Structure 1
Amino acid sequence: MNLTVKVLLGMALGIVVGLVINLGGLSPAGSFVNEYLVDGLFLVVGKLFVNALKMMVVPLVLFSLICGVCGIGDIRLLGRIGTKAFVLYIFTTAIAIATGILLAAGLGIGEGMNAVTETVFTGKDSPPLSEVLINIVPSNPVSAMATGEMLAIIFFAILCGVGMLMVGKKAQPVVEFVELLNEVMMKMVTIIMALAPYAVFCLLAKAIGSLGLDLLVKLMGYVAVLISVLLFHLFVTLQVILKIFSGLSSMTFLKKMRNVQVFAFSTSSSNATIPVTLRTVTERLGVKNSVASFTVPFGATINMDGTAIMQGVATVFIANVYGVDLGFGGYLTVILMSVLASIGTAGVPGVGLIMLSMVFAQVGLPIEGIGLILGVDRLLDMIRTAVNVSGDAVVSVIVAKSEGQLDLDIYNDPDAGAFDTDDVHLDEEVEREMAQMVRNTHDHK
């Protein structure tokens, strides 16, 4: 079995085990299953895996982007890549939320529903756009890396790369060293991915086992519409955009993105999935590192197609529940607010609900209405994240193709960059050579 089959099998088994635990009432507070499985083994293994992925994000983005800038050949290309990526990310976000609003309004979800919730949601202020722009330039790059401020890390990495280019040949040893570090980081990602099937099983068993499925039934209209729009955007809208702007095969793209989508679904974090997305986009889809090293982390920060869809569907749902008629002007405001919020709330934890509270405040909907959908948001967030990372990859491929930075042979080869379990085995001869090299160096000193 290859890794993709193993991961999909882990995903399926995790969902089945989670449903058995939940529907069978096997996990009441204080029970053996709850203490030692759901909040024990499943929680620990899942968290360890997500932490391992997050551990790789900052060094991988830093070294990969420095290598990308140094190897780009024409520094003006970086400006074109950034502009194209930004426009496409905003364009797909606007389409996503418009689709969500149209379908949700057309089906009238939430109308006549006398929903009562005991869950209290308190809106959290998001930073103003001016603060986000100011924080792009870090006053302390080490602090920015420690806290995972992606836009600041991107800026610092680009500046480092440009500085090395200006130094010229004297910087060659540093560039070669960074390239070696980048290769080591990629190998570390490969090691972590080998553990993915077991981690995916634990993550999904924990999530589904803890989820209140009775709440899903009560909110079935909202859940069904939101999932339908998310899947439509993933399998139709994004694939049409890919075909129009690049002319490439959508089937090839979807097959090669399966691993990334399962990772994103399991972790519910675009940032945590960056290492896997970056590896897939470069080694499986053929996007040159000079493009992918910028578009992938940039997209994980500002591209929120899945979240934007949730904004639209949730706004219509809550408006209908409370009997508020937003009208055409109100829905247009929702679209504009969501697009702007996707930039202004970049990198903020819990970004989806923060954006939603901003939208509600702008159109006059009660913030406490968010409490109605909080219970099912965990499951829906998993699907939203899978859509988000797919959007990152689509834009990366389109931008790379337009700039001649896409290897079509790799893209069209179904086996290119496929994960091989032999990749995580140590070569005994290499081990001996490294040991001898270290001894020689020590003896020389």
Structure 2
Amino acid sequence: MNTIPENTKKSIFSNLTLQILIAMLLGALLGIIIHKNYIADDAKNFSDKIKMLATVFIRLVQMIIAPLVFTTLVVGIAKLGDVKSVGRIGGKALGWFFSASFISLLIGLFWVNTLQPGVGLHLGTLDSSGANELTEKVDGFSAQNFVEHIIPKSIVEAMATNEILQIVIFSIFFGLAAASIGTNAKPVVNALDKTSHIILKMVNYVMKFAPIGVFGAIAGVFAVKDVNDLLVTYAKFFSSFLVGIASLWLFLLIIGYVFLKRQMTTLLKRIVSPLIIAFGTTSSEAVFPKLTEELERFGVKDKIVSFMLPLGYSFNLDGSMMYMTFASIFIAQVYGVHLDLGTQMTMLLVLMLTSKGIAGVPRASLVVVAATCGMFKIPIEGIALILPIDHFCDMFRSATNVLGNAIATSVVGKWEKEN
């Protein structure tokens, strides 16, 4: 799907990465100046207002995600032609996603047990207001709600709330039905194909606002947080978390080079902008349309991208998965709750199942962590321990989610080319 002429895409995106990096630096500088020169209430007021820039950008992206997922996924399935092809690619996709999720969880499990960042840690008095808000969400966290979150009762409601997994389920059924009808469905499929091109063209306009959104997000955080004190207090936790994330990146990059060989370097160049946007806005969802374009430019067939990427956003959040085991056992360590290896592996499997379909849910990782703590008799209020540093952890796990989905889509795309 060549959505943008070659001569125009350079002018649109050639400086985007540089603009975003400059925006991050300027945002951090402005936030630090505000934090040091204004009282807490004024800094908080400034933060709330400047973050509106990030909110505008993310909402612009969210505005086009639902129609983009629906149109591209239906067209992609219709182009695949039959249930057998969908099943083959879907099987490869889910096999990759669950393997990657399991390894991500294991990496978090390994490093939190090896480095033990929560043992002997005393963080003093913590603000539990944010934790109380999250524990209220946990009260409704059940198997029934999990199923209801996956299966849509209304495609209109799913689109209105940007429930990606529900949109994916409906789109798969719609696409399979269109493929089974054959030529009679071609007018509808062609109309959706043209619509997807229009929506992808809208991405160009939205991405021009990305540096401003990143600037607002970074400035808002630095205005209200004393980063130096925060990193000193959480030095052991944050450094241990970064070791885990670095290990996960190393694993993903090695796997990518094994399957993609020299093309992996080209892929990394393609996804630099999506990675930085996800890092700056702490939202992997915010780069969904941009990542779709870049993967198609990389050479993955549009029907593979439109099928794989929505599934990946529901089932393949590698950075979030690694963080869930890490954070859950960290809280247990702080409270002195002993978890034997068997219990930890059970926790890993629980997280494997309950974490699917959390894309787009605000602080979904923390909600799942809180729910898991409740299941294993770990104090749920311990979520307050990681709230102060969670934003900075979220920057890294959001970028990792993007990397994992880009590699997964590219590898499956290569497999399909070889068939």
Q: Give the shorter-chain TM-score range.
A: 0.7 to 0.9
Question: 1:214-293 alignment to 2 at 5 Å?
Answer: 214-234=229-249, 236-283=250-297, 285-293=298-306
Return closer, same or farther for 1:157/1:405 CA change in 2, 3 Å cut-off: farther
Cα distance in 1 for residues equivalent to 2:115 and 2:32: 29
Structure 1 partner of 2:108: 100
How far residue 243 of structure 1 moved from its aligned partner, in angstroms, is 2.4
Q: Which residue of 1 aligns with 2:155?
A: 141
1:403 counterpart = 2:411: no
Q: 1:71 aligns with which of 74, 79, 82?
A: 79
Q: Which moved more, 1:147-156 or 1:135-144?
A: 135-144
1-side partners of 2:331 and 2:146: how far apart? 29
User: How big is the shift at 1:96?
Assistant: 1.4
Residue 330 of structure 1: CA displacement? Answer: 2.9
- The amino acid across from 2:210 in the alignment is A
With over 3 angstroms needed to count, the CA separation of the structure-2 counterparts of 1:170 and 1:311, relative to structure 1, is: closer
Aligned: 1:87 with 2:95: yes
- Per-residue deviation, 1:261: 0.9
Q: Which amino acid aligns with 2:179?
A: L
Aligned partner of 1:319 among 325, 332, 338? 332
* 137-146 or 216-225, which deviates more: 137-146
Q: 2:378 is matched with which residue: 347, 365, 371? A: 365
Instruction: Answer whether contact 1:115 1:321 (CA < 8 A) is retained.
Output: no
What's the offset of the Cα at 1:129?
4.3
Q: Aligned match of 1:164 in 172, 178, 193?
A: 178
CA offset at residue 68 of structure 1?
0.7
Cα distance in 2 for partners of 1:115, 1:100 equals 22
Distance 1:241 1:2 in 2: 30
Q: Does 1:26 align with 2:38?
A: yes
Mapped contact 1:333–1:363 kept (Cα < 8 A): no
Aligned in 2, Cα 1:359/1:153: closer, same or farther, shift over 3 Å?
Answer: same
Distance 2:404 2:204 in 1: 23
- 2:7 is matched with none
For residue 38 of structure 1, the aligned residue among 35, 47, 55 is 47
Report which of the two has the higher share of helix. Answer: 2
Q: Secondary structure at the match of 1:272?
A: helix
- Per the TM alignment, residue 61 of structure 1 is displaced from its structure 2 partner at its CA by 0.7
Which stretches in structure 1 are left out of the alignment for 5+ residues?
407-445
Please give the alpha-carbon distance, in whole angstroms, between the structure 1 residues aligned to 2:280 and 2:302: 26
Q: Distance in 1 between matches of 2:140 and 2:414?
A: 35
> Are 1:129 and 1:343, in contact at CA under 8 Å, matched by a contact in 2?
no
After superposition, the C-alpha distances for 1:194-240 in whole angstroms (9 at most, x for unaligned) are 22222222221112223342233211110111123113312x11111
Q: How much identity, in percent, do the aligned residues show? A: 32
Query: How far is the alpha carbon of 1:353 from its aligned partner?
Result: 1.1
Rounded Cα–Cα distance in structure 2 between residues aligned with 1:190 and 1:297: 20
Code of the aligned partner of 2:65:
V
- CA offsets, 1:42-66, max 9 Å, x none? 2222211111000010011111112
| Alpha-carbon separation, structure 2, partners of 1:316 and 1:154 | 32
Q: State how far apart, in whole Å, the 1-side matches of 2:364 and 2:418 are.
A: 32
Pick one of 171, 194, 208 that aligns with 2:222.
208
Q: Hey, what's the Cα distance between the residues in 2 that align with 1:347 and 1:152?
A: 12
For 1:362 and 1:87, the matched residues in 2 are separated by 27
Q: Are the structure 2 counterparts of residues 93 and 137 from structure 1 closer, same or farther at C-alpha, using a change threshold of 3 Å?
A: closer
The one-letter amino acid of 1:99's match is I
What is the CA–CA distance in structure 2 between the aligned matches of 1:188 and 1:68, rounded to whole Å? 20
User: Could you tell me whether the CA contact under 8 Å between 1:7 and 1:262 is conserved in 2?
Assistant: yes
Distance in 1 (CA, whole Å) between partners of 2:374 and 2:307 is 34
Report the AA paired with residue 348 of structure 2. I
Q: Calculate the aligned-residue CA RMSD, in Å.
A: 2.3
Aligned AA for 2:75?
A: C
2:118 counterpart of 1:110: yes
Query: 2:54 touches 2:214 (CA, 8 Å); kept in 1?
Result: yes
Q: How does 1:383-422 map to 2 (within 5 A)?
A: 383-404=396-417
Which amino acid is 1:266 matched to? G
Q: Which residue of 2 aligns with 1:422?
A: none
**Partner amino acid, structure 1, of 2:247:** F
Q: Does 1:306 align with 2:319?
A: yes
TM-score with structure 2 setting the length: 0.88
Alpha-carbon distance between aligned partners in 2 of 1:140 and 1:360, rounded to the nearest angstrom: 32
CA separation of 1:331 and 1:144: change in aligned 2, threshold 3 A: same
Partners of 1:230 and 1:27 lie apart in 2 by 35
Q: Secondary structure at the match of 1:380?
A: helix
Does the aligned pair in 2 maintain the 1:288–1:405 contact within 8 Å? Answer: no
Letter of the aligned partner of 1:230 in structure 2? Answer: I
Q: 1:185 to 1:89 in 2, by over 3 A?
A: same
Q: Residues 230 and 201 of structure 1: is their aligned pair in 2 closer, same or farther, counting only changes over 3 Å? A: same
- What code does the residue aligned with 1:231 have? A
Aligned to 2:310: 297
Q: SS of the counterpart of 1:378?
A: helix
* SS across alignment from 1:71: helix
CA displacement at 1:305 relative to structure 2: 1.5
Rate the CA distance shift 1:172–1:114 in 2: closer, same or farther, 3 A.
closer
TM normalised by structure 1 equals: 0.83
Find the residue that maps to 1:290 and give its secondary structure: helix
Q: Give deviations 1:391-439, integer Å, cap 9, x for gaps.
A: 1111111111111189xxxxxxxxxxxxxxxxxxxxxxxxxxxxxxxxx
Change (3 A) 1:321 1:168: closer
- How many residues get paired? 399
Equivalent residue, structure 1, for 2:10: none
